[in-house]
Amino acid sequence: MIVWITGASSGIGEACALEYARQSSQSAPMCLVLTASSVERLQNVADRCRQAGAEVRVVACDLKDAEQVATLTERVWDEFDRVDIAFLNAGISQRTTIEDTSMDMVRQIMEVNYFAPVAIAKDLLSRMVAIGGGHIAVTTSIAGLFGFPLRCAYSSSKHALYGFFETLQAENYDRGIRVTIVCPGRVNTPISLRALDKGGKAHGVMDPGQAGGLSAEKAAKQIIRAIRRGKREVYVGKTELMMVYIKRWFPALCAWIGRHISAV
């Protein structure tokens, strides 16, 4: 089975790569294709996956660069003539108010979080249909279900993913295409360290909420189980996931909490 993971050099992507590698066996061999911008970090993850028993290929790409993204799927597909599971997980966050968020920052976040996974999914679609189907998973966020302070572009990009990938499955379910929307709450990953701060520099701080979040390893087990079972959507996190249901049933309360919640 060929499993392609973007954003595989750290956090949820790294944990999922290692969990898939551990599940590889002689009876069910696994080949992992790992993508991120940092070749050095990717190679480190790849080496650990190989030690766990998986075959691994590294295909580096800067997802901010639309020209690189335009040829990425072809590069991966040419290697194996198939992809069984694509987990489009790469993403970047922010820690800025709307007033402090430049349009350049909005475009950068949308490029990585929305346009890159959309372009990859579009390029995969006809190829997967031609071989009888495939599974595409994408990482959104509970911030894609309601607005959240200091996340205007991040939240917007995650909202947009719901529209595209729900449509993708609606149009292609009968053609063998399955979609799993992965919706994390707070997971202990480096995303806050690399989030964009005022002026576009790295935030460089591990948010307390992030530090106290679900471990990436536990998140990976839940995500892979959901993909294996063909779930349409999976929520991953701790008590913060209650906000999903508060938004659904008590939207005014959700708005009040959003005005008072700590954004870090």
Catalytic residue numbers read 154
The residue written with tokens 């922010």 in the block is 94
Q: Are 151 and 196 in contact (CB under 8 A)?
A: no
Measured distance CA(54)–CA(26) in Å, rounded: 10
**What's the CA gap between 195 and 55, in Å, rounded?**
32
Alpha-carbon distance of 55 to 21, in angstroms, equals 8
Q: Strands, DSSP E only, in 150-250?
A: 177-184, 187-188, 214-215, 233-236
Residue entry with tokens 């996931």: 241
45: part of which helix (H) or strand (E)?
helix 39-52
Give dist(CA 99, CA 88) in Å, integer: 30
Burial class (CB in 10 A: 0-12, 13-18, 19+), 248: exposed
